[in-house]
Chains A and B, each alone.
Chain A
Amino acid sequence: MRLFLIIFVLVLALSCKKEPEIIARSNNEDFSEIFNSFWSKVNQYYVFWDIEKTKWDEIYYTYSPKFTQLNINDANDVKASVALFREISKELIDGHFLIQFNNNLIKDSIINPVQIKKRLTSQFYTQRDYLFADTNYLDNGFLHRADNDFSINGVPLLVTCGKIKDSILYFSCNQFKLKKSYFSLSTKSIRSVVDFFFNNVNTSFTTFNKVIIDVRGNLGGDILDLAFLFERLFEGNQQYGSVQYKIGPNRFDFSSWLPVYISGIRAKSLQPLKVVILADKNSASLSEIAIQLVKSRKENLFVGDTTYGASGATFDQQFFNSGSFVVSNFMSVELSATRFKSLQGHLFEGVGIVPDFNITVSNQQLALKKDLVLEKAISLLK
């Protein structure tokens, strides 16, 4: 009996861990608790630790004492906390990583480390107005609508569709809220433009077999738009990549890679469509998934600039052990909840997708109504 007790005590001793247990509380009353909640939730819900350079354990030991010294009731300390959160997250590669603060003192502070890094590079450019130049290439009768009900940073959903030399169908959108706008009862709905596109890529008889999809400057949006817009461009089931979720609590508790498919509705008897997709450095998230989708058929091409590099989808932990979260009453953190891999097996988070034809266009050229990227796409479809 004594021997059994000794063994039992030894077992318990072996089972004990020496590392600190960092608890995410539902109510955070001081900066120490806020930091612990933030750190432990990123620790659990972040999906790119395998390709991440940030040493997250070291972050805890370095910054925990700094946050402990801050006073939540001191306005200067509250403002100082933003700088600390910025330092902590500066090397994270998740293109969707975004911190917004609920505290009134720092409500205007937004931390978007990938965006900050990109702004510091010489190749960076802000959102460009391609439409001004591109209307120069469209035949008369093109359609353009703006829906203010779906705006990002004050810019409404902009959708354009038209013909180029009566042989190429051109479609552009600056975000993927197409289906929501299409089915909204608002007079601003973009339905007429989308219907124009749908009618001209008819699934049962050939009208156009050359299409340009322009997602330059498109920051992504609603995943429902993938099937809504693209199902007409494909015949039957087409795999266009794989997705992986995080199921368990530890950093590498991923699911298997699940193949993802589009269920095309275009008749197989028709001549296949050739699609060229245009994107730039500001094409992110669902735009990049759309590129993978278009590129899943080897005849299709991608023209433009290397994309932003934000491959995942964002949502909170309803389905999986990953994604966005809030630290009560203080901050909300947006994270990718999924990992997307191309058909070739590339994970392009933080890297972007390299185009088949790397063509850039300057603001000066656009001001002169010259779009070299669109010109290249047109030449490839001739």
Chain B
Amino acid sequence: MRLFLIFTFFFFFYQITFSQTTAEVNFGGSFNKNLQSIVNSNYNIENALSLNTSIQINKPLLKEWLINFGLGFVPKDYIYKGKGNYSVIEQRVSNSYIQFNLCGYRKIAIGKRIVFFIGAGGFTGYLIARKQSGVLPNIYNVLNLNTPSNSVSLSNFSENQVIDEKIDNRFEIGIRISLGVSLKVNARGRLKLSANYDYSITEQEKQYMLNQSTKLNRTLMTTIGYEFQLFK
């Protein structure tokens, strides 16, 4: 009897949890904007493009609704770019996150092959790496031209940075708005195009000084993926 009850429990648990569950593997581009409240007038803070990847699990709840959760690698980069005569100055800051997302979606089917999605939810990211790269004038690398003027050389650099637990906010939390369309390509799988907009509500840095500039990420991710059924 006990064995029967256990079997029954797991049978229904499996049915509820995994039935009709699909998985997606996605790749795409992240276009990140870093909002800073204090900006030197000699710089622009430019948006930067980088590559992201994620695995998503979709679980239908009702006929037209599904819940989605996933784990991804999401770089959120931005660039300090000099203006005018100093346009050669460039420093790219690459913050790489492992990001978990949880969203609810409404499905709208057009015919038998095309399904549109619109959804919203949240995400939380964990900063795993930071890198700085770019070109800066190296004022001590002066080249003597044997004329009254000299030439300041430029230095290229690319270096991983130590994440400072006293300053850096490892966790990023925010809201996600998402749009997508999927196209049935065979009996088991669908091609899926998605656009996600991640709106961070947490600062990249902890509050450690007065008059601290904000550093908030706004990330638009467009991805292409393949969705396939995990469990019937």
* Interface set of A (CB-CB < 8 Å, partner B): 4, 7, 11, 14-15, 17, 19-22, 40, 43-44, 56-57, 60, 179-180, 183, 223-224, 226-228, 231, 241, 243, 245, 247-252, 255-261, 263, 289, 313, 317-319, 321, 338, 340
Contact = CB atoms under 8 A, between A and B. Distances in A.
Contact of B141 (A245, A261, A319): A261
* Size bracket of the B interface: 35 or more
Nearest to B145: A227
Contacts of A40: 211
21 contacts: A4-B120, A11-B175, A43-B209, A43-B210, A44-B211, A56-B210, A60-B210, A180-B148, A226-B142, A228-B144, A243-B138, A243-B139, A248-B213, A250-B209, A251-B209, A256-B161, A257-B159, A258-B138, A318-B42, A319-B86, A321-B43
B137 interface: yes
A333 B86 CA distance: 23
B142 A256 contact: no
A249 B80 CA distance: 11
Nearest to A229: B144
B205 interface: yes
Contacts of A17: 207
Interface in B5-55: 36, 38-40, 42-43
A129 to B, nearest CB: 31
A340 B140 CA distance: 10
B210 A260 contact: no
Interface of B: 36, 38-40, 42-43, 80, 82, 86, 89, 91, 93, 120, 132, 136-144, 147-148, 150, 155, 157, 159, 161, 164, 167, 175, 199, 201, 205, 207-213, 215-216
A263 B143 contact: yes
B123 to A, nearest CB: 13
The 6 closest A-B pairs by CB, nearest first: A227-B144, A260-B140, A249-B38, A183-B148, A249-B213, A256-B159
Given A19-B210, A20-B210, A258 B136 contact: yes
